[in-house]
Chains A and B, each alone.
Chain A
Amino acid sequence: MLELKDLYFSVAGRNIIDGLSYTFERGKFYAITGPNGSGKTTLAKLIMGINLASAGSIGFLGKEISSLSITERAREGIAYSFQQPARFKGITFRDLLAMAAGTDDEGMLLALLRRVGICSLSFLDNPVDAKLSGGEIKKIELATTIARNPKLAIYDEPDTGIDLWTIQPMVRLLKREQKEHGTTTVVVSHNRAFLEAADIVLMISEGKLVYRGDLEGALPMLNDLTVCNYRKCVGGKDVGCYR
């Protein structure tokens, strides 16, 4: 359903995404992982149109979308959950949810709250501003993504700022969305809980796809990353890493 072909994204002569090709299948749950600075978030942003590809193509449900705006991609059925969600002055959770769902019908908004597991009604009229905690704003971000009823949902590090006890319910929520609504799900994460939930793990290093498959196959590489996860060691300048 999503086909990336020879995708490049370059800044100041450096390829952040370096000739990446991959085809995502409809209804599958993907986890994208890799070292810091490897290009995971950049790739997610290229798919949503937040960054525009320097070269290559992005096909979505058979349509070339690489030149479409964020708005147009959203209307095609792609939704995006930001790692650092925007904070507003004077816009409430209700406002965002209504924009996402395309309705301000109270009954439908309440059904959405139930669907994403937010029980507190008072939360609905909270301003989405700097006073919200990191966890609260991530829940709002997730809810607005799901409220789009997307064909493809991209979550960039959804567990940032979320307490340990909320991660498993969040994983279950995204899995339920995948199962019940057939949502193709792409989660950028370092968190093992999301990697375990994924049908397919994709690992990116220096802008290239270096692994695709199940978590078991990825473990040796992931364990290797626990030694040093900041790109590749650079010869004499590193601190003596065995790689």
Chain B
Amino acid sequence: MLDAIDKDLLKKVADLEGLPKGAFNIRKNGKLLQREVSANINIESSADGSGIVVTIKPGTINESVHIPVILSQAGLYDVVYNNFIIGEGADVTIIAGCGIHCGGLEPEGHAGIHEFRVGKGAKVKYVEKHYASGPGRGRRTLNPTTKVLLEAGATAAMELTQIGGVDEANRANEAVLGPDSLLLITERVLTEGNQKAVSANTITLAGAGSRANMISRSVIKGDSEQDFYATMEALAPCFGHIECDAIIMDNGRNETVPSLKVRHPDAALTHEASIGKIASDQLMKLMSLGLTYEEAVNRIIQGFLK
């Protein structure tokens, strides 16, 4: 059964108003809460019990699978290894996410290690949101890792979001791209107070004609800190781009290190980075439309993280 806290967390991390339709797997406090499979999407516990294996049949079109994790047990650090095997020519959406509710002094945390094998010509949209709440002062940690292998002509669009309340996050994304494959990653992270988040990304463009675009948007409030590292390596004729933007507020701190490694003469890798306070011309424009300074700041950040 889902209680009120579970429902709130599910709404925040997976936009769910109760149980989803189609295939899903809800994990609560380190254990399976409920699971449903469909004709084309199978979910089973891995042999060693450390996570799940989601297998999507070749040619599955317009189906989705929800795999949220909720945590409200004091002192628990839940680690899960999930595998996704997406069959050739499939076109699916996977909605993950972890919500922590901390009611006491003890820390709570979750590490989700997600491995994707996207078959030839398949398309996957992966949406992952992380959120923590609750009146407790226990430290909330979320350490997600995604590993993606794109076969020839495959596409993965990944939206990775940390929307607030997480004290510590070590985020890691790794991807290897086959021929003519496409990877789009958009990562949005908001930190405040004394929170700290690190995002380390390694993207290898191994196949000819592969393309990758990584966008990072960070809002760093209070005394929080965010560091962003991205390495893009090109082994074939390909195109890759890294765009990292950070808005610094209050005493926020940031280190951004994009790294481009070109190992093939016909590869093209680019990056752009912009770190600083909200541009004054943006604030003045919104204030000239009648918004107060605070309203203008909120609106700009809301758009930036949208």
Contacts and interface: CB of A to CB of B under 8 A. Distances in A.
Listed residue (B285, B299, B305) with the most chain A CB atoms within 10 angstroms of its CB: B285
Given A50-B284, A82-B281, A88 B289 contact: no
Interface stretch (A24-32, A66-74, A212-220): A66-74
A144 interface: yes
Nearest to A84: B281
A102 B282 contact: no
B285 A90 contact: no
B194 interface: no
A127 B287 CA distance: 19
Interface string A128-164: 0000000000000000100010000000000000000
Most buried by A among B279, B281, B286: B286
A44 to B, nearest CB: 12
Contacts of B291: 71, 99
A79 B102 CA distance: 47
A172 B285 CA distance: 24
A87 B245 CA distance: 14
B299 A99 contact: yes
B287 A71 contact: yes
Nearest to A85: B285
Interface in B257-306: 279, 281-282, 284-293, 299-300, 302-306
Interface in A51-104: 69-71, 74-75, 79-80, 82, 84-91, 95-96, 99-100, 102
B217 interface: yes
Interface residues of A, number: 25
A204 interface: no
A74 B288 contact: yes
Nearest to A127: B303
A48 interface: yes
Nearest to B294: A71
Most chain A Cβ neighbours within 10 Å, of B289, B291, B302: B289
Contact of B288 (A48, A87, A102): A48
A87 B287 CA distance: 14
Interface residues of B, number: 22
Contacts of B299: 91, 95, 99
A102 B286 CA distance: 12
A228 B289 CA distance: 37
Nearest to B274: A89
A87 B300 CA distance: 11
A90 B219 CA distance: 13
A86 B245 contact: no
- Which of A71, A102, A144 is most buried by chain B, counting CB atoms within 10 A of its CB? A71
A99 B286 contact: yes
Given A90-B303, A99-B299, A69 B290 contact: no
B281 A89 contact: no
Given A82-B281, A89-B245, A89-B303, A69 B289 contact: no
Interface string B59-88: 000000000000000000000000000000
Interface of A: 48, 50, 69-71, 74-75, 79-80, 82, 84-91, 95-96, 99-100, 102, 144, 148
29 contacts: A50-B288, A69-B293, A70-B284, A71-B290, A71-B291, A71-B292, A74-B287, A74-B288, A74-B289, A79-B288, A82-B281, A82-B284, A82-B285, A85-B281, A86-B284, A86-B285, A88-B303, A89-B217, A89-B303, A89-B304, A90-B304, A91-B303, A95-B299, A95-B303, A96-B289, A99-B286, A100-B289, A144-B289, A148-B289
Interface of B: 217, 245, 279, 281-282, 284-293, 299-300, 302-306
Given A69-B287, A84-B281, A144-B289, 16 more contacts: A48-B288, A69-B293, A70-B287, A71-B291, A74-B288, A80-B288, A82-B288, A86-B281, A86-B285, A88-B282, A88-B303, A90-B302, A96-B289, A99-B289, A99-B291, A102-B290
